Amino acid sequence: MFNLQHKIAAITGGGSGIGRAIAELFAAQGAQVFILELSALAGEDTVKQIESKGGKAKTFTCNVSEQAQVKNVLSTIAEDAGRIDILVNCAGISHIGRLDTTTEEDFDRIFKVNVKGVYNAMAGVIGQMIKQGGGVILNLASIAGSMGLADRFAYSTSKGAILSMTFSVARDYIKHNVRCNCISPARVHTAFVDGFLSKNYPGQEKEMFEKLSKAQPIGRMGKPEEIAALALYLCSDEAAFVTGTDYPIDGGYIKLSN
């Protein structure tokens, strides 16, 4: 089950965190992985890790907010590999602030990456997927998109847009055998979390880590590998009947939080 042999997968933000975990798992399951990553070093590091375990991967330095760059990279992948079976949109950035503390510059920056970046990548593969007779698109949303989080106005808004785009694409292209779903994680322990704590709570990292962990009813943060496992299912042939759906993976946050 969950065999991705002969599948071509393009993954944005595959150089770190959840994106890297997904890239590594997909490669382990037989997919040929192409990473679109802003950091050339991070992308190359993921490729080396995949290749060290016998997998196939290649990275392209790419700013997902720049449509010409994204379309050019995806066209190159389709030309070289002959198809693109899977697109996973993981690239994203965060921002702390309420409505009254979010500047226009911050708002535009978040939307350029989190919303336009996803739009650019989907627009870059949809023609190829129609041409080849189908494909799978998976977007990384967040519980912030469906319920909002305190002090995350722009970020929550951007992730709400991911939900709407996912549902719209699923509806518009179901007749072309293109499936589109999204995943909504709660807090996941990545290097981003560690950096956030050291920057905003110097000397209190351990205390704040515990507090953020216990915000999930299950009592801990998620692991990138756990998100990757759900992504693998949704992008595999075993999920052929699944489209137009958001999957919370949140340690009980949405349903069980007080």
Known catalytic residues are 155
Rounded Cα–Cα distance for residues 225 and 70 (Å): 26
